[in-house]
Amino acid sequence: MIITSDIDLALREQTALIAEGQVFILTDENTRRHCLPIVQQTLQLPEDRILTVAAGEEHKNLQTVELIWQFLVDRGATRHSMLINLGGGVITDMGGFAAATYMRGMQFLNIPTTLLGMVDAAAGGKTGFDFAGMKNQIGLFRMPKETIIHTEFLRTLDPHHILSGFGEMLKHALISSPLELMAISAFDIEQYINRPNDELQTEFEELISRSIDIKNYIVESDPEETGMRQTLNFGHTVGHALEAYALQAGEPLLHGYAVVYGMIAELYLSHLKLGFPERDLQQVISLMKQFYGKYTCPCKSYDQLISLMQHDKKNPSQDQIAFTLLRTVGNYRLGCVCTPEEIKEALDALFNC
């Protein structure tokens, strides 16, 4: 992974050995407008080698993946070509999957343009798309040739997308150590969003680098999620269910927000099942509520949410819902099976907190 303020040099180095006419770019409507011009200053690709797809989680589906495949076929891409995925997590997930399966695998380069993409989606080699109303049901593990982090792209984001990525940074801190949680809790994210300055930018870039290091250490220790990597799923069992529920209701929820709400519920389960300290529980929930507000969901939808959780990839079977829970900050336990009654109690705590 390359973290740089000189994206020109990084792009030249990563594309130097690719044959002329064999580099392609995948963007969405947002990154085409805000980020593509920066990349094009270096690459200067003709328009017919750039594919722009609709933005948003609702378009992370097989139909969009087919568009990418057809785009590559129509332009004579080979196994020796390169696809540059320029965008947030939706783009890097789908583009990575399309490239990894095209002609049994072509090279791809990830350039995440959102905070969420930088600290989560573009790292770790997970690729895929949503299917049958559920998150990331189809996918595979495939590492990109490289991931380029250009923090200047953060200046193109609105507050909600900054907070979405910050939610995953909170997760990394919670599964890592009290020291990491203290560092991220002390950062003035509100001032960074509303009144940024060079000092805050430098401090935030350091936190981003530390968050990426946490994920990379875990991924390198367990690349195919057979053990330790499951800690990265903290907050995601409930979070993915909320995300799918919101998408089905036609009111999409940003991934980082869903994960934060999922962590609130799963911290409650951690307290209930493993004795996660009450004081720490209240402090973390207070921090999360301060920036992410309250999410509402009627009790009559609990069974629908639990049904969505039953289809989670991490479950040992469809009639058992498993969670990664915390004994204390940085002290995790994998595969904690919870009953529907316990989950409903946690959902009550989430929606009424």
Q: Which residues are catalytic?
A: 104, 126, 168, 215, 225, 229, 233, 236, 240, 255
CA distance 84 to 320: 39
Among candidate residues 209, 157, 141, the one with its CA nearest the CA of residue 1: 209
Six-digit token pair at 150?
A: 């250009």
Helix axes 159-176, 178-186, angle to 10 degrees: 160
281 and 289 in contact (C-beta within 8 Å)? Answer: no
Q: Name the one residue in this structure whose structure tokens are 């085409």.
A: 32
SS3 state at 326: strand
| Phi–psi pair at 124, nearest 5 degrees | 110, -15
- Write the DSSP string, 231-256: GGGTTHHHHHHHHHHHHHTT----HH
Among candidate residues 63, 55, 219, the one with its CA nearest the CA of residue 130: 63
CA distance 192 to 198: 10
DSSP 153: G
CA distance 198 to 70: 44
Distance of CA 324 to the CA centre of its chain: 17
Q: Which residues contact 78 (CB under 8 A, 6 or more apart)?
A: 22, 103, 106
Six-digit token pair at 85?
A: 């995925």
CA distance 276 to 284: 12
Six-digit token pair at 33?
A: 């407008």
DSSP 117: I
